[in-house]
Structure 1
Amino acid sequence: MFDWKIWVETSTAPPTICSAVTWSENAITVAGGNDNGAALNQLSYPNHIFVDDNDSVYIADNHNDRIVKWAPNAISGELVAGGNGRGNNLNQWSGPSTVFLHKEGKLYISLNSNNRIQKWNNGASSDERIIGQFGPGGDANQFNESWELFVDFSRGIYISDLWNHRVMKWIVDATTLFVDAAGDLYVAGLGNHRIQKWAKDSEEGVTVAGGNGQGSNLNQLNDPTSVVLDVTGNVFVTDYGNDRVVQWLVGAKTGRLIAGGSKGNGVNQLDRPEGLQFDTK
């Protein structure tokens, strides 16, 4: 028999609470309270909530297969994700169990009955499956029902794997990999704002570009999405958040701008570049 609980996450650091604090004896309803139902002023078996920095409440509305947001003092919720009916298609959900709002505005949602984790970008009309491509199971690329997830500041995703009796950490924002002729692996770490080189058979990586925090200086990167190397080992990076492509020479401490640098559709501009390849010329 399960001990059902509603778990609460926040996007801020844990508060400092005086040991002598007193609490009100009476609660205040901040969402729902209008019987079980599917209207936007109702909820149906809410399973998990997340409170953002503005005190808006995001709710995994389990039986309505949706995520709703209730602003402070609202009398009705706002549909922010899901709501396309119950099912297993990629645009459908079956029982969202957890919702987590990352600091960049992206929602991470655990779909317990679908055995997958979805990411919903701010303002998007559809979501993206990021974990659960291989169905339920006990292998390292699977899980079997998750009722809780947490996303750290580097976008590492921690999930409770109920029937495998374990907690897993998934790294899903290493967007692009490149392997050189020596078998060394280069990884674009989106959330870490760096490019790392993992030498063949090594147990740890070495930062070869970025790694100085998120920013626009030439020794920094901002959500790098792709990495390629030339024949001499120089690193070329699509710096998504800075709308540019930068080159890092072997051993360099700073990059060199080679394309873009401002957002737009001009011939000298880029707009959130994601991919990079060399042609034969």
Structure 2
Amino acid sequence: QNTTSFGLTPCPKWNPNGTTIAGNSSGLKGNDTSSLDRPIGIFVDVSDNNALYVADHENSRLMKFNRSQHQDQGEAIVPSGIISAESVFLDREKSIYVAGGGKVMKVIVSGVGETILDGETEGEIGFHELSMTLYGIVVDSNDSLYISDGSYHRVVKWEKNSTNGTLIAGVTGEYGDDSTHLDFPHGIYVDFDYDALYVADINNNRIQRFHPIGNLTGETVAGGNGHGNGLGQF
């Protein structure tokens, strides 16, 4: 796994004014190396001077921005048209995993990419396939993939070289708001030390925790009080 934690004071504060570090500062979309078009997933490599990887969805590419060099220009790690990029993850060997459009691509250090999981099929929803919306991916030390499968309302785990995934959260093809269901999950985080899976359950406006991993009954740890801007809402 590849995780980073940050220590915060009980009353943290931050500057409310953001700084554009990737993409057009005016908010305009584009397809040149200084622009993005509907970026979805990001990953920050703290071991590489906070290099920023961006899943540039509408441009169907993965971009890297070298923060330390203060450059506005990005580099296309996975060029346009290869994969409908939605989420990205780097492991400790610097291999890059990009998920989107029912597929997962692995790009090794040399820059060579290969599709390691192609779940884009038609017909009955099963554990040998994935939907077209894969908004979260995590990879563990055994090269197992944890994938947020949005349109199928679930999170699945695919072990290395497996032809089928294992359900670890949600109910396949069913959305809902009880403790066993999800509704279009997006980002995920896996706490390997605590053996817990955290899921951003978008349409239910909540964060769900599943502990231990594989327990299909989740608990709400944030939100879940309806849509809004209150302190207990998303």
Structure 1 gap ranges (5+): 1-9, 86-91, 175-281
Give distance in 2, aligned partners of 1:148 and 1:99.
Answer: 7
Describe how 1:29-48 pairs up with structure 2 within 5 A.
29-34=20-25, 35-48=28-41
Q: Is the 8 Å Cα contact of residues 53 and 64 (structure 2) preserved in structure 1?
A: yes
| Match in the other structure for 2:77 | 80
Shift of 1:22: 1.2
TM-score normalized with structure 2 length: 0.60
| Match in the other structure for 1:228 | none
Q: 1:49 aligns with which of 30, 42, 45?
A: 42
Cα–Cα, structure 1 residues 144 and 134, in superposed 2: closer, same or farther, change >3 Å?
Answer: closer
Q: 1:111 aligns with which of 100, 106, 118?
A: 100
Deviations 1:11-50 (A, max 9, x none): 4322121122211121111111252111101111111111
Give distance in 1, aligned partners of 2:52 and 2:118.
Answer: 26
Deviations 1:228-257 (A, max 9, x none): xxxxxxxxxxxxxxxxxxxxxxxxxxxxxx
Q: Paired residues, what number?
A: 154
TM-score normalized with structure 1 length: 0.51
Q: 2:151 aligns with which of 143, 163, 170?
A: 163
Q: Is the 8 Å Cα contact of residues 142 and 160 (structure 2) preserved in structure 1?
A: no
| Match in the other structure for 2:202 | none
Give distance in 1, aligned partners of 2:88 and 2:99.
Answer: 7
Q: Is the 8 Å Cα contact of residues 11 and 52 (structure 1) preserved in structure 2?
A: no
Q: 1:141 aligns with which of 125, 128, 143?
A: 128
Give distance in 1, aligned partners of 2:10 and 2:142.
Answer: 32
For 1:107, the aligned partner's letter is I
- Pairwise CA RMSD of aligned residues? 2.1
Cα–Cα, structure 1 residues 153 and 18, in superposed 2: closer, same or farther, change >3 Å?
Answer: farther
Deviations 1:80-139 (A, max 9, x none): 1132x3xxxxxx22x211111111111111122xx11111112224x2111125625522
Describe how 1:87-98 pairs up with structure 2 within 5 A.
92-93=82-83, 95-98=84-87
Deviations 1:150-169 (A, max 9, x none): 11233221111223322110
Over 6 Å off, 4+ runs: none
Describe how 1:1-281 pairs up with structure 2 within 5 A.
11-34=2-25, 35-53=28-46, 54-72=49-67, 73-83=70-80, 85=81, 92-93=82-83, 95-112=84-101, 115-125=102-112, 127-132=113-118, 135-136=121-122, 138-145=125-132, 146-172=134-160
Give distance in 2, aligned partners of 1:133 and 1:56.
Answer: 30
Give distance in 1, aligned partners of 2:142 and 2:79.
Answer: 25
Cα–Cα, structure 1 residues 134 and 67, in superposed 2: closer, same or farther, change >3 Å?
Answer: closer
| Match in the other structure for 2:204 | none
Structure 2 gap ranges (5+): 163-234
